[in-house]
């Protein structure tokens, strides 16, 4: 399989395992580089890293700039805590995924043109 575009999202399991932030970012950079070395464009999807403040947004944005990846900030904006868009406290339902697609679509159009 040779995808043209790969969307990459920091997984919640790293939070649950308490992987240090610098290690998560290093892992993401290695993944991005491996994908780009295969010829695909990476769209890095941002997620809020905290309940009150987003301690990852600037790091993810910097990582996207450093690697030449496209970036979608806070792809889950408007979903978390809204039962209309969530199957449970952390997983979106179909309506939630439609909103995620709306967040990604403008960035996807830019990388495809």
- Structural domains for the chain: 5-112 (3.40.50.1110)
How does strand 5-9 pair with strand 70-72? unpaired
For all residues of the chain together, what is the average pLDDT?
89
Q: How confident is the model at residue 17 (pLDDT cuts 50, 70, 90)?
A: confident
Average pLDDT of the residues in 76-90: 88
Q: Is the confidence at residue 11, as pLDDT, over 80?
A: no
Burial class of residue 46, CB neighbours in 10 A (0-12, 13-18, 19+): buried
Q: Which of 112, 22, 105, 19 is nearest to 59 (CA)?
A: 22
Give yes or no for a contact between 86 and 80, defined as CB atoms under 8 angstroms apart. yes
Q: Which of 76, 63, 69, 72 is nearest to 25 (CA)?
A: 63
Q: Is the confidence at residue 52, as pLDDT, over 70?
A: no
């Amino acid at each position: 399989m040779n995808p043209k575009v790969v969307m990459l999202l920091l997984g919640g399991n790293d939070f649950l395992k308490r992987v240090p932030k610098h290690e998560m970012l290093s892992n993401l950079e290695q993944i991005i580089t491996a994908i780009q070395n295969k010829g695909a464009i990476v769209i890095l999807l941002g997620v809020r890293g905290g309940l009150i403040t987003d301690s990852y947004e600037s790091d993810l944005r910097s990582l996207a700039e450093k690697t030449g990846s496209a970036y979608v900030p806070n792809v889950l904006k408007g979903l978390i805590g809204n039962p209309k868009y969530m199957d449970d406290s952390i997983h979106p339902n179909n309506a939630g995924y439609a909103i995620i697609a709306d967040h990604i679509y403008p960035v996807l159009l830019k990388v495809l043109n």
